[in-house]
Amino acid sequence: MAQFTQNITTNGNEGYWAGSWFVNGSWWQTGRNGFGDDLYSAGRFTNVSVPYGATITSAYLKLYGYANESGDAFTRIYGIDEDNTVDLTSDPVSRPRTTAYTQWNFNVINLNQLYTIDITSLIQEIVNRAGWGSSNALAVIHVNDGTPTSNFRHFKNWHGDSSYPVGIEINYQLPAHLIEKSLTYRIVRPQTPLTKMLRYSIKDMETDPQPFSGLKVAKAGHNAVNAKLVESYKFHSGYNTLKYLLNGTFQLHVVNPPKNEYNVVGYVDHNLGYFPFAIVYAKDDLMANYQPLGRFQAGSGAYRQFYYYLTTTRLYFVVTGWSINGDDDYYVNFYYKLFRNNLGL
């Protein structure tokens, strides 16, 4: 069993709507105000260290009462149904929501009292998303569901009172493929200390393989029906792969650059509208072979560095160097591969 807990204590990760969206607002509120507005609040948790496919044994949203209030309130809590939801600087109301939700109806709220709301099902739905990965961000939204007018309710948050932040607690079991890796590690590293051996053994006992639906192609000598290591497969639909877009070459000609430090920049278009995964190799007249970038310095006495960077429409190539006389004349060849995988940055 493992646990993830976090309180929201950063800007851009909590807010509420009351006529307009107030990111970093000083409380969490829901219900319906005197104008008949349905109020809602949202909170985002980052670097959530729950791996894809984990079994959520329990999950709780934690709220502290803002004041002594009473009156019927009918609300729902949904998850934001995204792989890695962005911050809450903009109103999140139109983001897709999980099918699962928690119905939370209440009446009396007391000042500084902790309210622990079970959100297990909606957290499970998020970590079951194919694009979910450990350390992604998730968010929940707390909306009205029929509260009478003027029964709006407040809870504390970090921006209003740093002693009573909004929090989350997720208790989970590792998915079977990660547990199996622990077992393998134990076998191939027999010098592992006994304490670690015991820890892995405990994890092994927690193994509870989930039913599989998808496509698996096992390597020779491995059984696709019951092999659990990802390395046992040539293909496994439970794991993403790099999706190839295109490759090509590009040449930059450095000729009579400015004296001292210079940059020569070129680009190719990809026009994907997002930042894609890319790998680039480079070679100049001083190098015997192409080498991957990374910061790479070429030449003996001729100070040159080759780089690349990405925008949402282009892949840029950069040669930077230092010319004493401004009479340099050489070519740098780049070889690139672009993939469709969206970095989500």
Query: Site residues (CB under 8 A) for another protein?
Result: 46-47, 49, 51-52, 84, 133-137, 174, 178, 181-182, 185, 200, 217, 219, 229-236, 239-242, 263, 265, 275, 277-279, 293-295, 307-312, 316, 318, 320, 343-345
Q: Based on CB atoms, which residue is closest to another protein, 93 or 265?
A: 265
Tokens describing residue 224: 């696709």
For the bound state, the minimum distance from the C-beta of residue 17 to another protein, rounded and expressed in Å, comes to 24
CA distance 276 to 340: 6
CA distance 29 to 156: 9
Count other Cβ atoms within 10 Å, centred on residue 162: 11
For the bound state, the minimum distance from the C-beta of residue 86 to another protein, rounded and expressed in Å, comes to 9
Instruction: Tell me whether residue 211 is exposed, middle or buried, using C-beta atoms within 10 angstroms of its C-beta: 0 to 12, 13 to 18, 19 or more.
Output: exposed
Q: Based on CB atoms, which residue is closest to another protein, 103 or 188?
A: 188
For the bound state, the minimum distance from the C-beta of residue 192 to another protein, rounded and expressed in Å, comes to 10
For the bound state, the minimum distance from the C-beta of residue 30 to another protein, rounded and expressed in Å, comes to 27
For the bound state, the minimum distance from the C-beta of residue 217 to another protein, rounded and expressed in Å, comes to 5
For the bound state, the minimum distance from the C-beta of residue 65 to another protein, rounded and expressed in Å, comes to 30
Q: Are 179 and 203 a contacting pair, CB within 8 Å?
A: yes
Q: Based on CB atoms, which residue is closest to another protein, 33 or 182?
A: 182
Indicate the SS3 state at residue 186.
helix
CA distance 155 to 157: 7
Q: Based on CB atoms, which residue is closest to another protein, 168 or 293?
A: 293
Facing residues of 58 across strands? 171
Q: Based on CB atoms, which residue is closest to another protein, 7 or 134?
A: 134
Q: Based on CB atoms, which residue is closest to another protein, 51 or 71?
A: 51
For the bound state, the minimum distance from the C-beta of residue 143 to another protein, rounded and expressed in Å, comes to 25
Q: Based on CB atoms, which residue is closest to another protein, 144 or 232?
A: 232
Report CA-CA distances (Å) from 319 to 56, 82, 122, 152: 49, 38, 49, 60
Nearest C-alpha neighbor of 138 from the set 232, 32, 8: 8
**204: CB partners within 8 A, 6+ apart:** 179, 182, 183
What size, in residues, is the chain?
345
Instruction: Tell me whether residue 44 is exposed, middle or buried, using C-beta atoms within 10 angstroms of its C-beta: 0 to 12, 13 to 18, 19 or more.
Output: buried
Q: Based on CB atoms, which residue is closest to another protein, 35 or 239?
A: 239
For the bound state, the minimum distance from the C-beta of residue 343 to another protein, rounded and expressed in Å, comes to 4
Q: Are 345 and 271 a contacting pair, CB within 8 Å?
A: no
